[in-house]
Amino acid sequence: MLSVFSGLGLGLSLIVAIGAQNVFVLRQGIRREHVLPVVIVCALSDAVLIVAGVAGLGFVISAAPWLVVVARWAGALFLATYGVLAARRAWRGGEELRVEAADEEPVDQSGGGISAATRTSSRLAPVLLTVLALTWLNPHVYLDTVLMLGSIAATHGEERWLFAAGAVTASILWFTALGFGARFLGRWLRTERSWRMLDGIIAVVMIALAISLVLPVLA
């Protein structure tokens, strides 16, 4: 049980932070759009990475550091693009949340139903592709989840898989709480102005993360 709780604690300490993936899960939770598929993809991706790290993939990454460099540039490009799109939403506005409805769908400001832009963003495939990119193009995932967590798990010897089970449990608990708990923020996001502020914050976070990824390479 000590190994399980060690993995749980380390997993939470690595994942509970302001990052691109968490911001996206939070936004989907607030919008109540495809929350369960997003949570499943995030938790399953973490589980795959944790198992890979415990199985020894961390040694491959440490032996080929250029893989991390490639992931940095690809992740920075994606984050910058997503940040620009969020900034565009914040600038243009036109979105609010109808919290009194049972399904709480986003509607346009004119009251004419869901806008064309919202219909496009609410499709499942683009949402899943975005969360997959935010997860697998993030080099910190490989450094933290695979390399660091895998290395620490190795110190537990034969109980390393119990350690991995604790870390996987941490991911499941966190993404479930983040995705389904975010809906309680809906009461503060009824207006277009609130959504513009949220998208503005998302834009700043995403662009800042993109810059932070490439600074070590440029330094």
3-state secondary structure 132-175: HHHHHCCHHHHHHHHHHHHHHHHCCHHHHHHHHHHHHHHHHHHH
Decide if 37 is inside a domain: yes
CB 150 within 8 A of CB 51: no
| Within a domain: 115 | yes
The answer to whether position 153 is within a domain reads yes
Please check whether residue 162 is in contact with residue 156, taking contact to mean a CB–CB distance below 8 angstroms: yes
Instruction: Compute how many other C-beta atoms are within 10 angstroms of the C-beta atom of residue 69.
Output: 14
Range of 51's domain?
2-64+91-187
Helix axes 160-181, 20-31, angle to 10 degrees: 40
pLDDT tens profile 135-170: 898 877 887 778 777 777 776 767 888 888 998 999
Query: What percent of the chain stands above pLDDT 70?
Result: 75
Nearest residue to 193 (alpha-carbon basis) of 65, 55, 97:
97
**Closest by CA position to 149, among listed 20, 72, 39, 46:** 46
In a domain, residue 154? The reply is: yes
pLDDT in the model for residue 193: 80
pLDDT at position 6: 74
pLDDT band at 18 (very low <50, low <70, confident <90, very high): low
Domain count, the chain: 1
Q: What is the pLDDT of residue 113?
A: 40
Residue 43 lies in a domain: yes
CB atoms within 10 A of CB 170: 23
Does residue 9 belong to any structural domain of this protein?
yes
50 domain residue, yes or no: yes
Q: Which residue has the higher pLDDT, 216 or 33?
A: 33
Could you tell me where the beta strands, DSSP code E, fall in the chain?
A: 96-97, 106-107
- In 3-state terms, what secondary structure has residue 219? coil
Residue 79 lies in a domain: no
